[in-house]
Chains A and B, each alone.
Chain A
Amino acid sequence: MHPVTTAHYLVLSAALLAVGTIGVLARRNIVIILMSIELMLNAVNINLVAFSRHFHQVNGQIFAVFVITVAVAEAAVGLGILIALFRNKATVEADEIEILKW
């Protein structure tokens, strides 16, 4: 078996980012769209930690800590918006929420 290099982690991260992007673009359920955003942020974190290991520096991991913090804030606000939306419109389908469409 080949030893695992940084490129392995980058390929995995790109694949996970692609999966998350498909989820954001193609799913209709808003809860699952928010989960896909979490997947994309995790892909970014894998990338940051892989480069942090590659260059033997700790800066990438600090950026990953900040990304995790922003992900927490994003999830809290996003789910709050979702609850408010469900109370007003009684739907969680992203393509049925068309108040701003012209």
Chain B
Amino acid sequence: MWLDTFFFYFFALLTLAGGILTITRHSAVHSAICLIISLIGVAGLFLLQQAEFLFAVQIVLYVGGIMVLFLFVIMLVNLDQAARTRQFNRQWWVALAAVAAVGGEMLFFIRKGVQLASPGPLPPAGLGNTERLADALFSEYLLPFEVTSVLLLAAVIGSVIMAKRRIS
């Protein structure tokens, strides 16, 4: 049991420290690497909660896909000048105050409400996480799953057209 607790705090530290470093670094490449650390922490948290499929998806898609995309764009776009100027805009203290207010509110309601929600019945034994996910995805959530493919097609075509040099 204490191993669970230890790994929770370890991955939580990884996630939060990576996130804070992401939004404070000057260089965009450093930010991207800190974001990778944060995303790996989130993947570890998924594994701790026995969501093995999401753990694999998080590593393959986020760390392997999205972050490579980010690094390619950082390479294409010249960020040297941006790294030398002011990093935060003039209203940063307003943002900080607003976020602190909303965060305090969330903490208050988490403290107040989580004891009320009772856990549901245990799942049927013998089925793994990925099997249960696939069962639900291909029966109950089949239509949203298919609509997702249309969304991805639109995103692919849209990003290619956006990044093209000239639309003729």
Binding site for B on A (CB under 8 A): 1-12, 14-23, 25-29, 31-32, 34-36, 38-39, 42, 45-46, 49-50, 52-59, 61-62, 64-66, 68-77, 79-84, 86-87, 91-95
A-B contact count (CB 8 A): 238
B139 to chain A, nearest CB (A): 11
- Give min CB distance, A75 to chain B, whole Å: 5
Q: Which label, helix, strand, loop or mixed, suits the secondary structure of the B interface?
A: helix
Instruction: Name A's interface SS.
Output: helix
Partner of A55, one of B46, B53, B79, B119: B119
Instruction: Pick the contact of A35: B22, B50, B135, B148 (CB < 8 A).
Output: B22
Contacts A4-B5, A14-B107, A62-B136 aside, 15 further interface pairs with beta carbons under 8 A come to A3-B5, A7-B111, A7-B114, A8-B8, A14-B106, A23-B23, A28-B82, A29-B79, A36-B23, A65-B54, A65-B137, A66-B144, A80-B160, A84-B162, A94-B89
Binary per-residue interface labels of chain B (65-96) against chain A in the complex, 1 for a CB within 8 Å, 0 otherwise: 11001100110111100100111110110111
Q: Is the CB of A25 within 8 A of B79?
A: no
Min Cβ gap A101→B in Å is: 14
A72 touches B57 (CB 8 A): no
- Count chain B residues whose beta carbon lies closer than 8 angstroms to a beta carbon of A: 90
Q: Bound state CA distance, A35 and B107, in angstroms?
A: 24
Q: Which residues from chain A contact B117 at a C-beta distance below 8 Å?
A: 54-55
Q: Are A25 and B98 in contact (CB under 8 A)?
A: yes
Is B46 within 8 A of A49, CB to CB? yes
* Structural contact, A26 and B32, CB atoms closer than 8 A: no
| Cβ–Cβ < 8 Å partners of B46 in chain A | 45, 49
Cβ-defined partner of A46 (8 Å) among B6, B45, B74, B111: B45
Find out whether the CB atom of B151 lies under 8 angstroms from the CB atom of A70: yes
Q: Which residue of A lies closest to B154 (CB)?
A: A73
CB contact under 8 A between A53 and B16, given known A29-B79, A72-B65: no
B126 at the A/B interface (Cβ < 8 Å)?
A: no
Decide if B49 touches A9 in the complex (CB within 8 Å): yes
Q: Which of A29, A35, A59 interacts with B136 by CB under 8 Å?
A: A59
A68 and B103: CB pair below 8 A? no
- How many Å lie between the Cα of A101 and that of B108 in the bound state? 38
Identify the closest chain A residue to B86 (Cβ).
Answer: A28
Q: How far is the CB of A56 from chain B (nearest CB, A)?
A: 5
User: Closest approach, in angstroms, between the C-beta of B130 and any C-beta of chain A?
Assistant: 10
